[in-house]
A and B are shown apart, each in its own frame.
Chain A
Amino acid sequence: MQFNSLIFLLFATVFFGLWPFTKRNLNLRWFYLTFASFVFYGWWDWRFLFVIAGSGLLDYGAALGMTRWPQHRRSFLWVSIIGNVGSLAVFKYSGFVADTLSALAKGMGYDLALRTDLPDFLLILPVGISFYTFQSMSYTIDVYRGELKPTRNILHFFAYLSMFPQLVAGPIVRARDLLPQLRAPAPCDEPRQWEGLQLVVFGFFKKVVIADSLAPRVNAAFDAPTLSTSSIFWWAAVTAFAFQIYCDFSGYTDIARGLAKWMGYDFLDNFNHPYTSTSLREFWQRWHISLSSWFRDYVYIPLGGSRTTPCRMYVNIWITMVVSGLWHGAQWHFVMWGAAHALLYSLERATKWPDRLKQLPGGRLLAAFLVIVQVWICWVFFRATSFGQALYILKCMFAFTGGLGTGLGGRATLALSLIVLRELYVFCGFRPRVIRSAALRNVLWPVILSVMIVACVYLRGQGSEFIYFAF
């Protein structure tokens, strides 16, 4: 069930209509939330429910085992990690491994078609598996580290793990943030309702008006890369993709946060204007924050982080980035995307160029521009369908030849301009002028939001899935 579908509208109406009736009994509330989330998730394919239930039961049991038999804590942790990484490996990476081995075998003169030997169910990727396995794993790791007391109530745990707003595309909410909130949800008063509505409307606007308007142009460019060899065309196409994925994913996050607010829960923000960053380090502190911080806390720091020898630190950066790339998808171009970020970030760490540049007049702007160029280059690897296609597009981008070629089209240009202007506004540090009259403020904002709702309905682009569902 997608947020931008009629069936979700019906689902949400029924869910929020009955939600207040569960207020007095926490067990009932958790059961209702878990049940509704399973309906939401099972709508794609009910068989996927066994995967999430299995993953959840494993971690629930492992965490309880850690407290019951503390001397075997480490063993329980390994059981949890092997179980979660194993389910990811089986469902997400078996096809990739089969293809890679087949290609290697072919290189050595053997004709192996391993993918065809895989059972069909291994070739279907359960929606959002990367998100909920990471979320589930963080629970057992936090319990192992003693940062979290495990919950004994299985409904409490599953309400956390399967909460539908963030189940399939994040943000990855940590158990230590959400479990306490589930015990004591905030009252859904007027400010919270309003905040939730704003997030939901902004989220839908970003997704259906901006991202979906850019999608056809981006798809057209990447589906037929030989369409144009013009550098301007490809820079425009990659820019459109950069903002498409930003609006698509941050739109989803906003909707998820808004829905959670209506339930009385708070999720941390997942995006903080990443394209206004003046260094790659800052970019990763602003882009997909819940995933970046997950990798920082559970991969980078356990590997030694930056408190080690410089050489080891760079190895840690590379491992984290490449694994992050592989997390996004079981294809080599995602690995290349991670590796490209690792390379550029390593260069940044070694030379500290952003700090030096920012000391010069206009240096901040130049630093932001250079970060964007680097991020755009990496996006090419992310969006391309193969490594070869990525290289071809990069070649076109840096050939600095050709005219405009096929333009983005009026609608996509308008959508792009809107979001670019907003990011520029944030980058320049403008603060919205405070309207002193509360009465005027309380009328103006509902009007603005109403216009955005109308825009979501009548200026929406062609409906498409959220990009991060594929991960």
Chain B
Amino acid sequence: MSPGALCVICGCLRPFVFPLAAENSGAATERGFHFASYVEMSRSLSNRSLRTLLISLPLLGLVAVSKPVPKEPGERTVMTRDAFWVAKTHSPAKFDLVILGDSAAYCGLSPRALSRSLPGYRILNFAYSAGGLNGAMFRAAEAKLDPKSTRKSILLAVTPLSLTARSMGNGKFLAEMGRPREYIFEKLHPAFVWDLVKPIGQREIAIMLGLPTPDGDDATYSEYHADGWVAVSARQVYPDASVPTYRKLYSEGKVLPALVRGLMEQTAAWTKAGVKVFGVACPRSPEVAAVEAECSGFDPVGFVRDFRRSGGIWLPVAGEYESIDGVHLCMRDALRFSADVAQQIAASLRK
């Protein structure tokens, strides 16, 4: 751009960008806001504030478009964590298929990967941290289904933890529901702005570039997607990392039969109302699975039997998937797991 052209742009912008300057420039005060003379335009460039603006705006744009993106496979609809939770909870969008569960579900099931085998399906991963499979969540999930859809479906990503007293609190979901209006507005509506100005973290850059992470091998990286999926990756995976936590959690409370009964009743009610209900067990590392078998009080065989009796469609996905801590699937394996689940759903729909 030639200096002359820059002067013209600056001169035109100046009264709008810096009305205070216009206020105090004699000519502008007398004649109001107007296209300044060439002399004034040249003077605009001597305004250091305007000069800073002119340097910083392209610089911001440059960083926005050139900031590194993860080298991992997967989606590119990355958003900030806050915007992610607000969008998941408060977005008015309606769906054909809603996934319910806890953090294992929102890390393990990518709606976009599912929709590859289920073309045309609008899918939302509506799982929450420590999320329960209980009445409050069932009602919330129902509200996310498009009432006009002819293929309304619910996918229950079952973990024993989501059927304990701890998960009945629905802490994360209720916290998100209770957000103030302006917070929701700020995070939801200009979400594209937040995406553009998403801060670049030190660990993020390191993982993206394949460098050793500053926090060592324990570093994990989470990528938040608009469809409710959180893609996690780590430099080093620890299949038994969740064992002590799970042991402690189950010592505080085992699976509640009342919650299992409630799930079965809801499945029957949904099936009766024409909503297809699918169920799948979230993959576990053998170490965590052993703790669950020992301490959770969950009867997987009985659960599947009752689920089928209630009208639900159980998806026997039996692949081996890698997780970062024994519970939360790594990004690549989450995509693979999602594809496997989708194929089974598609197969059951064909029957």
Residues of A within 8 A of B (CB): 5-7, 16-17, 19-20, 23, 43, 187-190, 193-194, 196-197, 201, 262, 409-411, 442-443, 445-447, 449-451, 453-454, 457-461
Contact = CB atoms under 8 A, between A and B. Distances in A.
Contact of A7 (B18, B51, B186, B193): B186
B287 to A, nearest CB: 25
A6 to B, nearest CB: 5
A44 B47 CA distance: 36
Instruction: Describe B's contact surface by its main secondary structure.
Output: helix
A454 B48 contact: no
Contacts of A446: 48, 51-52, 55
A409 B199 contact: no
Given A7-B186, A409-B214, A454-B60, A188 B199 contact: no
A306 B292 CA distance: 70
Given A446-B51, A457-B60, A20 B197 contact: no
A453 B47 contact: no
Contacts of A6: 186, 190, 193
Given A190-B49, A196-B49, 4 more contacts: A193-B49, A442-B51, A453-B56, A453-B59
Nearest to A213: B202
Contacts of B21: 188-190, 193
A457 B195 CA distance: 12
Contacts of A449: 52, 56
B63 A193 contact: no
A17 B23 CA distance: 11
Interface residues of B, number: 31
Nearest to A447: B55
B48 A411 contact: no
A51 to B, nearest CB: 20
Contact of B20 (A262, A410, A453): A262
From A190, A410, A445, A449, residue with most partner B Cβ within 10 Å: A190
Interface in B175-208: 182, 185-186, 190, 193, 197, 199-202
A447 B51 CA distance: 9
Contacts of A458: 63, 67, 197, 199-200
B215 A193 contact: no
A217 to B, nearest CB: 11
A412 to B, nearest CB: 10
B142 to A, nearest CB: 32
Nearest to A45: B180
A305 B115 CA distance: 76
B150 interface: no
A56 B200 CA distance: 45
A148 B46 CA distance: 41
26 contacts: A6-B190, A7-B182, A7-B186, A16-B19, A19-B19, A20-B22, A23-B23, A43-B182, A190-B21, A190-B47, A193-B18, A193-B21, A193-B47, A197-B52, A262-B20, A410-B202, A442-B46, A446-B55, A449-B56, A450-B55, A454-B59, A457-B199, A458-B67, A458-B200, A459-B199, A461-B199
Contacts of B20: 16, 19-20, 188, 193, 262
B251 interface: no
B24 interface: yes
A400 B254 CA distance: 43
Contacts of A17: 19
Interface of B: 18-24, 46-49, 51-52, 55-56, 59-60, 63, 67, 182, 185-186, 190, 193, 197, 199-202, 214-215
A451 B186 contact: no
Contacts of A188: 20-21, 23-24
Given A188-B24, A189-B24, A457-B199, A445 B48 contact: yes
Given A20-B19, A20-B20, A451-B59, A411 B47 contact: no
A410 B214 contact: yes
Contact of A190 (B23, B48, B199): B48
A307 B190 CA distance: 60
Contacts of B214: 409-411
Contact of A20 (B23, B185, B200, B202): B23
A228 to B, nearest CB: 16
A7 B187 CA distance: 11
A136 to B, nearest CB: 27
A33 B133 CA distance: 52
A308 B241 CA distance: 66
Contacts of B51: 442-443, 446
A459 B186 contact: no
Contacts of B56: 449-450, 453-454
A445 B49 CA distance: 10
Nearest to B194: A6
The 9 closest A-B pairs by CB, nearest first: A410-B214, A450-B56, A20-B23, A450-B55, A188-B20, A446-B52, A446-B51, A453-B56, A194-B48
From B67, B190, B197, B202, residue with most partner A Cβ within 10 Å: B202
Contacts of B23: 20, 23, 188
B59 A450 contact: yes
A274 to B, nearest CB: 28
Nearest to B62: A454
Nearest to A442: B48
Contacts of A187: 24
Contact of A457 (B18, B47, B197): B197
B30 to A, nearest CB: 13
Contacts of A190: 21, 46-49
Contacts of A410: 202, 214-215
B93 to A, nearest CB: 22
